[in-house]
Structure 1
Amino acid sequence: MNGLTDISALLLSRIRDVADYPEPGVMFKDITPLLADPEAFTALSDALAGIARSTGATKVVGLEARGFILGAPVAVRAGLGFIPVRKAGKLPGATLSQAYDLEYGSAEIEVHAEDLTRDDRVLVVDDVLATGGTAEASVQLIRRAGAEVAGLAVLMELGFLGGRARLEPALAGAPLEALLTI
């Protein structure tokens, strides 16, 4: 691999478009072929781990569900701890929660109360940045836990949905890195 251009081309070549999924008019970006390819998955994990190291992160947060698939190997590659952020009601024991609005209704995410401290710098990892609602809630949750947000890193950003503009105020100067922008 010779640089980000080669990695981007490799990653793009392993993402499959699925028309009309999950509903008519939507072009779904399926990353399962990328995950099935060891060369592409390793390149993705290494690129995101490089971002984790460059931000000075001490922990990686993965957002349910595909953020778990990406975040755990990124944490291992970067030599950091991995913290899952889950939908409400999925974690045993004491949790901190953060509600956020959806297009129709609301949702809530949680983290174990003891997993993040004021000594932590946390990189949020997810597969896709769309509208930014879940990512924004995770940033708020990390700060409520007393930790610092080191940044947000995603495989791909769906630029036409405006998630970056929504997140910039919440990130307060922390970097937002997307390996691909669609």
Structure 2
Amino acid sequence: MDELDRERKLELVKKHINSYPDFPKEGILFRDIFSVFNDQTASEVLQELIADHVKSIEKSVDAVIGLESRGFLFGPQIANTLSVPFIPIRKKGKLPGELVRIEYSLEYGKDVIELQKDSLCGKSSVLIVDDLLATGGTMKAACDLIKSCGVDVAECFVIMELSGLGGKSKIPAPFHSLICYD
């Protein structure tokens, strides 16, 4: 896809991302990726843009990691595009079996994410995907968790980035967003 076609498609997707002021709390402008799925054309165009990007990743990818929960919307599709497995990272207490976990700091407290320990066996490089990067805490924690298992992060990929919050600066791996909001 040429650059002009890509820009036209990005504008179509952006037009279908609804914004909700003061959600989930006052002062937050919530960008809702679900609204894109309400329009078949916008949804298909978003899938094309995603596939175009992930096929261009230079590093080899052995698996796609989706972050709870909206990363689960895109992770399996990307994994199918790359013909690799999909692996979820979930919040504490949501996955069965032997797990690896990491605790990380949030603006007001701490959280824990987990991954099934055997899911990374034989993997050397993964793509981490989510819908949105804001402050970067969860994405950084996911990178740290993956790296603690001896696996490289080929790229962290999101649909939307809120650049004004500086989250990208926390990411210890290559990073790409389709849409950037200031």
Task: Report the TM-score, using the length of structure 2 for normalisation.
Answer: 0.90
CA contact (8 A) 1:58 1:81 kept: yes
Give the Cα separation in 2 of the matches to 1:53 and 1:60: 13
Aligned to 1:165, which of 169, 175, 179?
169
Corresponding position of 1:117: 121
- Cα distance, 1:136 vs structure 2: 0.3
Matched position secondary structure for 1:46 = helix
Alignment map for 1:65-104 (pairs within 5 Å): 65-104=69-108
- Once the two structures are overlaid, the 10-residue window that deviates more, 114-123 or 97-106, is 114-123
CA contact (8 A) 1:117 1:146 kept: no
CA contact (8 A) 1:60 1:75 kept: yes
Give the Cα separation in 1 of the matches to 2:169 and 2:149: 24
Matched position secondary structure for 1:119 = coil
Alignment map for 1:23-172 (pairs within 5 Å): 23-55=25-57, 56-117=60-121, 119-167=123-171, 170-171=172-173
Structure-2 change in CA distance of 1:131 and 1:86 (3 Å): same
Structure-2 change in CA distance of 1:138 and 1:117 (3 Å): same
Give the Cα separation in 2 of the matches to 1:119 and 1:23: 39
Corresponding position of 1:19: 21
Give the Cα separation in 1 of the matches to 2:54 and 2:64: 8
CA contact (8 A) 2:63 2:123 kept: no
Matched position secondary structure for 2:42 = helix
CA contact (8 A) 1:15 1:33 kept: yes
Q: Which runs of 4+ in 1 moved over 6 A?
A: none
Task: Report the TM-score, using the length of structure 1 for normalisation.
Answer: 0.90
Structure-2 change in CA distance of 1:140 and 1:12 (3 Å): same
CA contact (8 A) 2:13 2:42 kept: yes
Matched position secondary structure for 1:115 = helix
Structure-2 change in CA distance of 1:11 and 1:18 (3 Å): same
The one-letter amino acid paired with 1:112 is: Q
5+ long unaligned stretches in structure 1 = none
The one-letter amino acid paired with 1:104 is: Y
CA contact (8 A) 1:61 1:71 kept: yes
- Cα distance, 1:127 vs structure 2: 0.5
Matched position secondary structure for 1:25 = coil
Give aligned-pair identity as a percent.
38
5+ long unaligned stretches in structure 2 = none
- Cα distance, 1:48 vs structure 2: 2.5
